[in-house]
């Protein structure tokens, strides 16, 4: 009876993951090796194309910049939140959760209103006479990065608030009572203890922005093609399924590599680990 329950209860979910996720994704990756021209010919074609290399590097660049900016903004904000008294803290957490739970389409759309030709930024700059012609801010790498940072900062704030709240007060108090000033306390006590959390946040944001679709679609368009939008375009516009599968395989490999390397580093750096 116990044996039946032990293996039977997780069985439906296991079958679902295997049949709907593992097998389909494995088949997608497998098709990239089935070309008549040789097993790696689609990858050679990908990396020999200047356009496709540019898509990959642009995606990596956007993801890295987004991660770095989100880390700094999220960490400072979470640090402030963690030190706020109860009521103010709850309000700040609510203010971070609200955008997080609002959909990616809505949140990206906001930046179309802000950065568009007749958007607020252009209107303001023109009315104070700084520019005479509206600037083209949409469909640039910058507009994608701004919207991505906007997308991921709440996630970073919530992750890091949890981490900073978990640092025992005794430790910082001990550091202060032994004469350490706030900055050394921050650098030598808080930062090392928060590092595993920073890594978790960085991985979430990097993989999220590296594989995003809606934001680059709306704010980057055809001009700033990224891996997600490129995959979609290959699959659904040009119906080049092998090409799309190659993009998919590269995305999977990079994502899994980042996650496994970073989680290994996080485990090694964790000063709380026994």
Partner 1 sequence: MPTRVHPLLGAFAALVFLFLLAPLVIIVGASLSDTTYLTFPPQGLSLRWFANIFQIEAFRRTAITSLQVAFLGTALSLLIGVPAAYALNRYRVELPRWLSTLFVLPILVPEIVFGFSLLKSITIGSGLPVFPSLILGHALLVLPYSVRVVGASLASFDFSIEEAAMSLGCPPLRTFLTVVLPNIQAGVIAAFILAFITSINDVSVSVFLTGPGISTLPIQILAHMEQFFDPTIASVSVLLMLVTVGVMAIIEATLGLTFLTK
Residues 215-244, interacting with partner 1 (CB under 8 A):
217-218, 228, 231-232, 235-236, 241, 244
What span, in angstroms and rounded, lies between the C-alpha atoms of 226 and 148? 13
Size of interface with partner 1, in residues (CB under 8 A): 94
Please report how many Cα atoms fall inside a 13 Å half-sphere around the Cα of residue 27, on the Cβ side: 7
Closest CA to 224 of 171, 159, 147: 147
Pick the stretch among 6-14, 60-68, 126-134, 136-144 that binds partner 1 (CB under 8 A). 6-14
Pick the stretch among 38-46, 55-63, 97-105, 129-137 that binds partner 1 (CB under 8 A). 97-105
Closest CA to 200 of 74, 46, 57: 74
What span, in angstroms and rounded, lies between the C-alpha atoms of 96 and 157? 7
**Among 256, 257, 261, 269, which residue interacts with partner 1 (rule: CB under 8 A)?**
256
Q: Does 161 bind partner 1 (CB under 8 A)?
A: yes
For the chain, how far is it from start to end, CA to CA, in angstroms? 37
Question: In this structure, how many other beta carbons lie within 10 angstroms of the beta carbon of residue 179?
Answer: 8
For partner 1, give the closer residue by CB, 157 or 205.
157
Smallest gap, in angstroms, from Cβ of residue 272 to partner 1? Answer: 16
**Among 41, 172, 195, 270, which residue interacts with partner 1 (rule: CB under 8 A)?**
172
Evaluated on CA atoms 48, 49, 50, 56, the torsion sign reads negative
**Among 32, 66, 77, 233, which residue interacts with partner 1 (rule: CB under 8 A)?**
77
Pick the stretch among 59-67, 69-77, 130-138, 265-273 that binds partner 1 (CB under 8 A). 69-77
Q: Does 266 bind partner 1 (CB under 8 A)?
A: no
**Among 138, 225, 248, 266, which residue interacts with partner 1 (rule: CB under 8 A)?**
248
What is the per-residue DSSP string for 124-171? HHHHTTS-SS----TTSHHHHHHHHHHHHHHHHHHHHHHHHHTS-HHH
Pick the stretch among 37-45, 49-57, 103-111, 126-134 that binds partner 1 (CB under 8 A). 103-111
Q: Which residues contact 39 (CB under 8 A, 6 or more apart)?
A: 33
Q: Does 25 bind partner 1 (CB under 8 A)?
A: yes
For partner 1, give the closer residue by CB, 46 or 111.
111
């Amino acid at each position: 009876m116990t044996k039946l329950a032990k293996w039977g209860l997780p069985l439906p979910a296991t079958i679902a993951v295997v049949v709907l996720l593992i097998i389909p994704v494995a088949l997608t990756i497998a098709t990239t090796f089935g070309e008549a021209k040789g097993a790696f010919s689609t990858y050679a074609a990908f990396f020999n194309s200047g356009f496709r290399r540019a898509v990959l590097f642009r995606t990596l660049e956007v993801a890295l910049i987004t991660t770095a900016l989100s880390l700094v903004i999220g960490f400072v904000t979470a640090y402030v939140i963690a030190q706020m008294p109860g009521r103010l803290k709850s309000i700040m957490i609510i203010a971070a959760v609200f955008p997080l739970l609002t959909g990616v389409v809505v949140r990206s759309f906001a930046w179309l209103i802000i950065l568009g030709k007749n958007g607020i930024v252009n209107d303001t700059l023109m009315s104070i006479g700084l520019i005479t012609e509206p600037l083209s801010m949409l469909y640039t790498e910058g507009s994608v990065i701004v919207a991505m940072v906007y997308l991921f900062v709440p996630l970073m704030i919530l992750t890091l608030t949890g981490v900073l709240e978990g640092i025992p007060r005794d430790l910082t108090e001990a550091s202060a009572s032994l004469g350490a000033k706030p900055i050394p306390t921050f650098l030598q006590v808080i930062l090392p203890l928060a590092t595993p959390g920073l890594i978790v946040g960085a991985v979430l944001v990097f993989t999220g922005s590296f594989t995003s679709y809606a934001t680059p679609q709306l704010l980057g368009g055809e001009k700033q093609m990224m891996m997600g939008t490129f995959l979609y375009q290959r699959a659904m516009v040009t119906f080049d399924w092998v090409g799309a599968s190659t993009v998919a395989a590269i995305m999977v490999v990079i994502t899994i590599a980042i996650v496994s390397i970073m989680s290994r580093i996080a485990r090694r750096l964790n000063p709380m680990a026994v």
